[in-house]
Amino acid sequence: MNPVQETSTTGPARTASAVAARAESLTKVYGRGEARVVALDAVDVAFPRGAFTAIMGPSGSGKSTLMHCMAGLDAATSGRAWIGDVELSGLGDARLTALRRDSVGFVFQSFNLLPTLTAAENITLPLDLAGRRVEQEWLDTVIDAVGLQGRLSHRPSELSGGQQQRVACARALAGRPEIVFADEPTGNLDSRSGADVLRFLRSSVREMGQTVVMVTHDPVAASYADEVLFLADGRVVDSLAAPSADGVLERMKALDPRGGA
Ligand SMILES: Nc1ncnc2c1ncn2[C@@H]1O[C@H](COP(=O)(O)OP(=O)(O)OP(=O)(O)O)[C@@H](O)[C@H]1O
């Protein structure tokens, strides 16, 4: 077991904390002088465990920056962020890398699968690299839920975009992470494949107890979430529980009348 697992909330020692990740006064400033941009402006946010949260907002509102700072991919300028009970800013590089590896699942717009590996090998790659045991029963549950049983020996080039993204989702969940961050997971998919991915993300939350945070520009995608948070100018300015696509669209129009989400 690595040092992070001993002190984090992953694995059997996981506490019953109701929050999977949170931030307090999280601030990210890029550049200086005239080039200074406040991408995150003292954001307070908490992502409840076992919930599917969508983040929306106009272009440049700070969605990616918030996700990157909360997932430990980028360092905040000030403020604090936690994954489970582990505070990110207190960690050195090695422990941050281990925390990301063991406690966070990532799904990207561009799938990011290794072309030479089969679907099955791609799914277990992060666990294999970390030297972690594959929990076969859990893996079977994830693969079943994502509908990939007949495709496990295929390479990414032999899979459709939707199937590749479902492989990426299974990979994100294989290690039972504390939280999954999905950055525009349906951005490269047609609406039918996108719906498959969204249904899977929702079922990973409702049926498997996982926690998912998804950045999206698409009100239909956001409507799969339990709650939508709206960002504008680096701040959380609104939220909508049990969202409908129309409800999300209306809030977005209010934030960005030009419709440039
Ligand atoms: N590396 C960087 N250097 C300088 N400014 C940056 C950098 N990354 C982001 N920004 C700025 O920070 C602000 C927030 O960017 P961010 O990418 O988080 O927005 P976003 O809501 O994800 O946008 P989009 O929907 O267009 O992807 C923007 O004004 C952006 O120009």
Nearest ligand 1 atom to alpha carbon 40 = 14
The 10s digit of each residue's pLDDT in 55-81 is 999 999 999 999 999 999 999 999 999
Nearest to residue 179, comparing CAs of 110, 81, 261, 61?
Answer: 81
The 10s digit of each residue's pLDDT in 127-173 is 999 899 989 999 999 999 999 889 999 999 999 999 999 999 999 99
Q: Looking at this protein, which amino acid is placed at residue 85?
A: D
pLDDT (0 to 100) of residue 161: 94
Whole-number average pLDDT of the chain: 91
Asked whether the beta carbons of 197 and 169 are under 8 A apart, the reply is yes
Residue 181 to residues 26, 66, 103, 160, Cα–Cα distance (Å): 17, 11, 11, 22
For 49-68+92-255, CATH gives 3.40.50.300
Asked whether the beta carbons of 135 and 169 are under 8 A apart, the reply is no
* C-beta of 260 in contact with ligand 1 (< 6 A): no
Instruction: Say what percent of the chain tops pLDDT 70.
Output: 92
Mutate to test the pocket of ligand 1, among 27, 65, 233, 258 (most ligand atoms within 8 A of CB): 65
ipTM rounded to 2 decimals:
0.98
pLDDT (0 to 100) of residue 6: 37
Where are the domains positioned within the chain? 49-68+92-255
Greater confidence, 12 or 179?
179
* C-beta of 61 in contact with ligand 1 (< 6 A): yes
Provide the whole-model pTM: 0.90
